[in-house]
Amino acid sequence: MPSRKSSDHTEKSWPRAILHVDMDAFFAAVEQLDHPEYRGKPVIIGGRAEHRGVVSTASYEARKFGVHSAMPTARAKALCPKGIFLPVRMHRYAEVSGIIHEIFTHYTPKVLPLSVDEAFLDITGSQRLFGPPRQLSMKLKQEILDSTGLTASVGVAPCLFVAKVASDLQKPDGLVLVPEEKVLDTLAPLPVGRIWGVGKVMQKHLNKLGIETISQLRSWPLKTLQENFGNTGDHLYNLARGIDDREVTEPDAEKSVSNETTFAEDVTKCAELEKTLLALADKVATRCRAADLAGRVVQIKLRYSDFSTVTRRITLATPVCTGQVLFRHGVKLLREKTEAGSRPVRLIGIGLSNFNAPPATQGDLFNSHAESGKTSADETDRKSEKAERALDRIREKLGDDMIGRGSLLLEPDDE
Ligand code: TTP
Ligand code: MG
């Protein structure tokens, strides 16, 4: 039956293929992985009801009771009294997040991390090596499962927006391919709220105009949409047609910003090494922010007294540009991956590389996502970025010496 094969575009290479991958019930799935007794049960992760906490996420078993992210935990308890309620263990989720984001880079250098558990991959150029999108996606899903024990859902489409929509269509453990000729039909029945940038307020506005679905939106002329929504009108018009020309840009892997120092006398005490590392991290971060760079790879370098030199690195889920965060990862590498504390050290250094656009400049649509406050760690990191940018401005005005480098106080660990 040659005709079946030739009409099945999922078997062919695509002229442009964007893959969106998103882990299933991420925090809850990690808890079920680490605690086999929770598997198959309603698991709800979040703040405590008595502290007016909210739900971060819920396992698919708990979602059947109507429990969902951002709902007050007290309400979740009322809906699902037999649920297993657990606190957020960000440290553990970040560890798994690091593994999956590393896996993404096996398939293409063009990776745009969106959050702790999701990313876009431009796999257009990867098809020669890994096969067409279905084959590549199955391999990626399998590698994630083998390495972490967790399932991910994948969507592939000719553009970012449709890929993101697609990954959500068959959750959990989904795989949905939307080749060009299926884009319009796939989008048509979906509610307008699925369009990026359409929040609750705009959705209400659209509903009032009688627009519930994307196909209804498509019947409105561009001019009318512009009259009603200004510039956003163009955006609505295009996305309703699956037109989205944003790119997944390759991070500049060559570039790196780093700083190192040689001690007058070899240092064995961890406290002193860490103090120096903090000052170096702050300098590196300040330079990165000045150049509008945020990087995903943190690297430290140590030269021991016998001149043997080691480097240790970690790839993060999202790009960072603050001394606070850089230091936090640097110090973890120092404590866990080197002999600091037992061998005298001559030189210490820290650097940031694998630059992508800083999250705040990735476009409004990404902002709206980021602002939904996905994780407490993200929030802490955003706060430290704000604070450090404020310091940058004061330094610019008053000169560098006015503000001590040690002013970067460490926040309590979020673990
Ligand atoms: P999501 O990918 O939105 O949700 P999920 O992975 O739990 O479930 P699924 O993708 O299968 O629908 O978010 C990823 C993690 O981010 C989630 O596990 C917990 C955290 N999160 C919050 O802390 N608060 C939130 O409001 C949301 C939406 C997510
Ligand atoms: Mg997810």
Q: Where among 182, 213, 232 does a domain terminate?
A: 182
Q: What is the secondary structure of 319-339 as a DSSP string? A: EE--HHHHHHHHHHHHHHHS-
- Give residue 340 CA to ligand 1 midpoint distance, Å: 37
Residues 409 and 340 grouped into a single domain: yes
| pLDDT at residue 359 greater than cutoff 90 | no
The residues facing 213 across adjacent strands are: 191
Residues 173 and 192 grouped into a single domain: no
Whichever domain contains 2, its CATH number is: 3.30.70.270
Ligand in closest contact with the CA of 174: 1
Separation of alpha carbons 393 and 391, rounded Å: 5
- 370 pLDDT band, cuts 50/70/90, is very low
Nearest CA to ligand 1 atom 16: 374
Is residue 246, in this structure, part of any structural domain at all? no
Residues 39 and 153 grouped into a single domain: yes
Highest-confidence segment of 150-164, 226-240, 377-391: 150-164
- 116 pLDDT band, cuts 50/70/90, is confident
- Residue 253's pLDDT is 59
Q: How confident is the model over 196-235, as pLDDT tens digits?
A: 889 888 999 999 999 999 999 999 999 999 999 888 899 9
- Residue 382's pLDDT is 75
Q: What is the atom index within ligand 1 of the atom nearest the CA of 172?
A: 11
Q: Using CB atoms within 10 Å of the CB of residue 158, give its burial: 0 to 12 exposed, 13 to 18 middle, 19+ buried.
A: buried
- 365 pLDDT band, cuts 50/70/90, is very low
Residues 160 and 220 grouped into a single domain: no
Residues 7 and 93 grouped into a single domain: yes
- Residue 366's pLDDT is 33
Q: Is 374 in the pocket of ligand 1 (CB under 6 A)?
A: yes
- Give residue 25 CA to ligand 1 midpoint distance, Å: 6
Cβ-Cβ contacts under 8 Å for 3 (sequence gap 6 or more): none
Nearest CA to ligand 1 atom 29: 374
Residues 8 and 148 grouped into a single domain: yes
- Give residue 337 CA to ligand 2 midpoint distance, Å: 30
Residue with tokens 């000052």: 279
Is residue 328, in this structure, part of any structural domain at all? yes
- Residue 185's pLDDT is 98
| pLDDT at residue 406 greater than cutoff 70 | no
Q: Is 378 in the pocket of ligand 1 (CB under 6 A)?
A: no
Highest-confidence segment of 26-35, 282-291, 393-402: 26-35
In the chain, % of residues over pLDDT 70: 86
Residues 284 and 389 grouped into a single domain: yes
Query: Could you tell me how far CA 314 lies from the centroid of its own chain?
Result: 15
Q: Where among 182, 200, 231 does a domain terminate?
A: 182
Is residue 214, in this structure, part of any structural domain at all? yes
Is residue 250, in this structure, part of any structural domain at all? no
411 has catalytic annotation: no
Is residue 276, in this structure, part of any structural domain at all? yes
Q: Is 116 in the pocket of ligand 1 (CB under 6 A)?
A: yes
Is residue 249, in this structure, part of any structural domain at all? no
| Count of structural domains within the chain | 3
Q: Is 68 in the pocket of ligand 1 (CB under 6 A)?
A: no
Instruction: Find the mean pLDDT for residues 18-33.
Output: 98
Is residue 58, in this structure, part of any structural domain at all? yes
Report which DSSP code applies to 191: B
Separation of alpha carbons 357 and 293, rounded Å: 6
In the chain, % of residues over pLDDT 90: 68
- 374 pLDDT band, cuts 50/70/90, is very low
How many of the other CB atoms lie within 10 Å of CB of 309? 12
Nearest CA to ligand 1 atom 4: 25
Q: Using CB atoms within 10 Å of the CB of residue 203, give its burial: 0 to 12 exposed, 13 to 18 middle, 19+ buried.
A: middle
| pLDDT at residue 123 greater than cutoff 50 | yes
Whichever domain contains 200, its CATH number is: 1.10.150.20
The residue type found at 59 is: S
State how far the alpha carbon of 146 is from the alpha carbons of 108, 119, 150, 321, in Å.
19, 19, 8, 32
| pLDDT at residue 413 greater than cutoff 80 | no
How many residues make up the chain in this entry?
415
Q: Is 117 in the pocket of ligand 1 (CB under 6 A)?
A: yes
Q: What is the secondary structure of 249-310 as a DSSP string? A: PPPEEEEEEEEEEEEEEEE--HHHHHHHHHHHHHHHHHHHHHTT-EEEEEEEEEEETTS-EE
- 400 pLDDT band, cuts 50/70/90, is low
Residue with tokens 């997944």: 248
- Give residue 187 CA to ligand 2 midpoint distance, Å: 21
- Residue 399's pLDDT is 60
Q: Which two tokens stand for residue 245?
A: 């020309």
Residues 113 and 216 grouped into a single domain: no
- Residue 322's pLDDT is 93
Residues 124 and 174 grouped into a single domain: yes
Residues 215 and 300 grouped into a single domain: no
Residues 308 and 218 grouped into a single domain: no
Report which DSSP code applies to 343: B
Q: Is 373 helix (H, G, I), strand (E, B) or coil?
A: coil
Torsion of CA 181, 182, 188, 193, to 10 degrees: -110
Residues 354 and 303 grouped into a single domain: yes
- 411 pLDDT band, cuts 50/70/90, is very low
Cβ-Cβ contacts under 8 Å for 42 (sequence gap 6 or more): 58, 59, 61, 62, 64, 65, 67, 80, 82, 83, 84
Instruction: Find the mean pLDDT for residues 156-178.
Output: 97
**Mean predicted lDDT score pLDDT of the chain:** 87
Q: Is 127 helix (H, G, I), strand (E, B) or coil?
A: helix
- Residue 409's pLDDT is 36
Residue with tokens 């509008």: 292
Instruction: Find the mean pLDDT for residues 106-134.
Output: 93
Separation of alpha carbons 175 and 150, rounded Å: 15
Separation of alpha carbons 292 and 355, rounded Å: 10
Q: Which two tokens stand for residue 309?
A: 């030199």
- Give residue 153 CA to ligand 2 midpoint distance, Å: 8
- Residue 6's pLDDT is 41
Is residue 245, in this structure, part of any structural domain at all? no
- Containing domain of residue 234, as a range? 188-240
Q: Is 24 in the pocket of ligand 1 (CB under 6 A)?
A: yes
| pLDDT at residue 361 greater than cutoff 60 | no
- Give residue 296 CA to ligand 1 midpoint distance, Å: 21
Instruction: Find the mean pLDDT for residues 310-325.
Output: 89
Q: Of 31, 118, 385, 388, which is the active-site residue?
A: 118
Q: What is the atom index within ligand 1 of the atom nearest the CA of 23?
A: 6
Ligand 1 pocket, mutate which of 22, 69, 90, 378 (most atoms under 8 A from CB): 69
Q: Which two tokens stand for residue 116?
A: 């702790």
| pLDDT at residue 23 greater than cutoff 90 | yes
Instruction: Find the mean pLDDT for residues 65-86.
Output: 97
Cβ-Cβ contacts under 8 Å for 368 (sequence gap 6 or more): 196, 197, 199
